[in-house]
Amino acid sequence: MLSIPFRKNIFNSEVNFPARYQPENLAKIVSAQFLLVFLTLYFFKPFTVTLAEQRWSYLTSCCLHALLPALIVFVYMSLLSRSSNKQQIKNWTLIKELLHLVILFLLIGLSSFLLRSVIYTNSDNISWHYFWIEIRNVYLAGTVFCLYLITTKVYFNLSMGKSTTIEPNLAAVKTDFHPAPLFIKAHVRIDDFYLNVADLLFARAEGNYVQVYTVEKGTVHSDLKRISLKQLELQLAAYPDILRCHRAYLLNIKRVARLSGNAQGYLISFDETDDKVPVSRTYLSLFDSIYQPEA
């Protein structure tokens, strides 16, 4: 039975900067937005339109009303994405995303209000009445649009059997890794890579990227990949010795050499490197149930 665990602090939970706002995906998003808005305006006419006041055909007006919000979203999110890459934002939350959407809706509403003077011949275009109408329409339509996208995403995720919780197969912990490298899909094709899971030491989230540490013939290698830690965890879910030990870390438990700490958390050491990996209190029970130190 599929379930989505509810958390009281879901709005303040830290997440990676969404991939949909990255440059390689943003063009697709705004193109889909343009088509949806244009088709909705042209075929369904959700808002009152006085054709006699329009300077151009209704088709042209619909194109302008759909194009302007798409351009605003593209420019705003491009600047936001560039800012997140430079500053390595690590505390992106759902509440911040909602705040940016509120700002976006306001900008689109203001632009739609100013666009009236271009499209309509009405002498009252610049008035508080039409200002309120344009702002209201954008927030109503934008909220419905976002709810539709969220509902669609949740539906398809559930249909594909995806879950927000990963439970390792504890019975298979002793199973040896197969030597065949595993293909890992990243956010961008250039960062796709093959991973010999047995060589993995740990992976650490760094903003929008993940630093992957592997060991080969006694030498430690570090590679920075544009992928979220959650995405990497999902693609390694078939390997029970790879487990989440911290909000920002994945650990290969077979590579653990020593550990220190107490009931508040552990600190993991390796033979191949001086780097340490923390095991937070949240993951102590899972770690203790799997880890069996060699005699």
**Percentage of the chain modeled with pLDDT above 90:** 37
Q: Is 232 helix (H, G, I), strand (E, B) or coil?
A: helix
Confidence (pLDDT) at 261 = 86
Residues 205 and 111 both lie in one domain: no
Does pLDDT of 6 surpass 80? no
Residue that finishes a domain, picked among 130, 159, 188: 159
Residues of the domain holding 223: 170-290
Residues 141 and 32 both lie in one domain: yes
Residues 28 and 155 both lie in one domain: yes
Residues near 276 by beta carbon (within 8 Å), at least 6 away in sequence: 267, 268, 269
Residue that finishes a domain, picked among 116, 136, 159: 159
Residues 149 and 199 both lie in one domain: no
Confidence (pLDDT) at 71 = 95
Does pLDDT of 148 surpass 70? yes
Distance (Å, whole) CA 15 – CA 38:
32
pLDDT digits (tens, 9 = 90+) for 277-291: 999 999 998 888 888
**Percentage of the chain modeled with pLDDT above 70:** 80
In a domain, 164, yes or no: no
Residues 65 and 129 both lie in one domain: yes
CB-count exposure of residue 3 (10 Å: 0-12, 13-18, 19+): exposed
Residues 90 and 193 both lie in one domain: no
Residues 233 and 113 both lie in one domain: no
Confidence (pLDDT) at 245 = 93
Residues 150 and 234 both lie in one domain: no
Distance (Å, whole) CA 252 – CA 239:
9
Residue 135 binned pLDDT confidence (cut-offs 50, 70, 90): very high
Residue that finishes a domain, picked among 96, 125, 159: 159
- Domains in the chain, number: 2
Does pLDDT of 137 surpass 80? yes
According to the per-residue pLDDT averaged within each range, which of 41-50, 83-92, 152-161 is highest? 41-50
Distance (Å, whole) CA 172 – CA 198:
15
In a domain, 3, yes or no: no
Return the beta strands (E) in the chain as ranges. 14-15, 92-93, 182-184, 193-195, 200-206, 209-216, 219-225, 242-246, 249-252, 258-262, 265-269, 277-280
Residue 162 is classified by DSSP as -
Average pLDDT over the chain, rounded to an integer: 81
In a domain, 139, yes or no: yes
In a domain, 180, yes or no: yes
Confidence (pLDDT) at 294 = 64
Does pLDDT of 89 surpass 60? no
The pTM (predicted TM-score) of the whole model is 0.50
Residues 141 and 57 both lie in one domain: yes
Over range 33-38, report the average pLDDT: 90
Residues near 81 by beta carbon (within 8 Å), at least 6 away in sequence: 17, 21, 22, 23, 26
pLDDT digits (tens, 9 = 90+) for 90-123: 566 778 888 889 999 999 999 999 999 999 888 8
Reported residue count of the chain is: 295
Residue 5 binned pLDDT confidence (cut-offs 50, 70, 90): very low
Distance (Å, whole) CA 158 – CA 155:
5
Residues 131 and 218 both lie in one domain: no
Residues 143 and 27 both lie in one domain: yes
First to last CA, the chain: 40
Confidence (pLDDT) at 288 = 87
Residues 175 and 280 both lie in one domain: yes
In a domain, 249, yes or no: yes
In a domain, 55, yes or no: yes
CATH of the domain at 229: 2.40.50.1020
